[in-house]
């Protein structure tokens, strides 16, 4: 078991880091710890889209590139620091689609070099992704193009969960897409609300929502670690805080004030 701050130091500068979207157990306490740790030149992967954590890391100057199919604060509107960084050319954006992101991760999960996907045919995005190859379906008689997407195995993946057990297993409930991230990534870091006794894989009621500790490298307890985003039925979204973030993050000065109050403070007292 690690401390939150120690967990953040496991991610070196320049690392590739996959993050889930805001509606899927976002590791926001971990993102704040990365900012405090002074992370730089991170190559973020939105699985499949990017939200608060990505915007925060971009605003703090931690990010070199983002591969994602979209970035927003949902009801809070456009991700302001993401949008500003794109306008100013401070980050590289690698465009994708939601199905493409999952397909590339699925290839890595299965240990194969690529996976096919048909829905991209006719899209302008193919002109901007030279690593996506259009070929003729080898099982057809011709005239049947299909796209091959390379496997995507992130160096790191991070997410937040309700609980882990003494065996290192992590419970994510119905958010089984997080298992795909953990299977595909080389190293998976998880924050949890709490650690429980026993082995959840031995419990028929809990096992379907468990990611085996085989795929988890390190765990840290971070109470309310998804805040200000909701976490399953543990706590609701802090809509007022997200609105305040969206307002402040529209300007460099406002974002700096947000960092000073809610991120650089040594404790996550404001998340209570």
Residues 6+ apart with CB under 8 A from 212: 169, 201
Nearest to 96 by CA among 51, 60, 153, 48: 48
pTM value? 0.94
For residue 267, the model assigns a pLDDT of: 52
At CA 145, angle to CA 140 and CA 147, rounded to 5?
A: 120
**Residue in the structure block whose two tokens are 């991170």:** 42
pLDDT digits (tens, 9 = 90+) for 168-221: 999 999 998 999 999 999 999 999 999 999 999 999 999 999 999 999 999 999
At CA 229, angle to CA 53 and CA 176, rounded to 5?
A: 85
H or E segment at 194? strand 187-196
For residue 265, the model assigns a pLDDT of: 77
Residue 74: band (very low, low, confident or very high) from pLDDT cuts 50, 70, 90: confident
Calculate the alpha carbon distances from 73 to 109, 127, 219 in Å.
28, 28, 26
Sorted by where each starts, the structural domains of the chain and their CATH numbers stand as: 4-96+154-266 (3.40.1080.10), 114-150 (no CATH)
For residue 138, the model assigns a pLDDT of: 92
Provide the angle, in degrees to the nearest 10, between the axes of the packed helices 52-59 and 80-87.
50
Q: With 80 as the cut, is the pLDDT of residue 269 above it?
A: no
For residue 266, the model assigns a pLDDT of: 54
pLDDT digits (tens, 9 = 90+) for 136-166: 999 999 889 999 999 999 999 999 999 999 9
H-type alpha helices, the chain = 4-8, 28-37, 52-59, 80-87, 98-110, 177-184, 239-248, 252-258
Distance CA 124, CA 234 (A): 41
Q: Mean pLDDT, to the nearest integer, of 67-93?
A: 95
pLDDT digits (tens, 9 = 90+) for 207-238: 999 999 999 999 999 999 999 999 999 999 99
């Amino acid at each position: 078991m690690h401390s939150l701050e120690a967990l953040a130091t496991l991610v070196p500068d320049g690392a590739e880091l996959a993050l889930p979207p805001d509606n899927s157990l976002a590791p926001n306490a971990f993102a704040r710890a990365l900012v405090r740790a002074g992370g730089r030149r991170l190559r973020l992967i939105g699985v499949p889209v990017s939200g608060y954590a990505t915007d925060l890391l971009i605003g703090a100057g931690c990010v070199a590139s983002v591969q994602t199919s979209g970035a927003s604060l949902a009801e809070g509107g456009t991700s302001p620091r993401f949008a500003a960084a794109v306008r100013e050319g401070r980050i590289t954006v690698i465009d994708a689609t939601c199905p493409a992101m999952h397909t590339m991760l699925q290839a890595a999960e299965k240990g194969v070099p690529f996976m096919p996907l048909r829905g991209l045919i006719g899209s302008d995005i193919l002109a901007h992704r030279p690593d996506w190859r259009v070929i003729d379906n080898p099982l057809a008689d011709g005239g049947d193009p299909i796209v091959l997407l390379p496997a995507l195995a992130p160096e790191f993946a991070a997410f937040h969960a309700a609980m882990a057990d003494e065996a290192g297993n992590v419970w994510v409930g119905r958010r089984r897409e997080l298992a795909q991230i953990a299977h595909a990534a080389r190293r998976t870091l998880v924050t949890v609300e709490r650690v429980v006794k026993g082995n959840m894989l031995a419990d028929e009621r809990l096992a379907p929502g468990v990611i085996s500790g085989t795929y988890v490298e390190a765990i840290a307890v971070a109470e309310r670690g998804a805040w200000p985003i909701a976490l399953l039925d543990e706590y609701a979204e802090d809509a007022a805080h997200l609105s305040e973030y969206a307002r402040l993050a529209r300007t460099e000065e406002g974002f700096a004030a947000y960092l000073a109050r809610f991120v650089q403070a040594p404790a996550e007292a404001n998340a209570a």
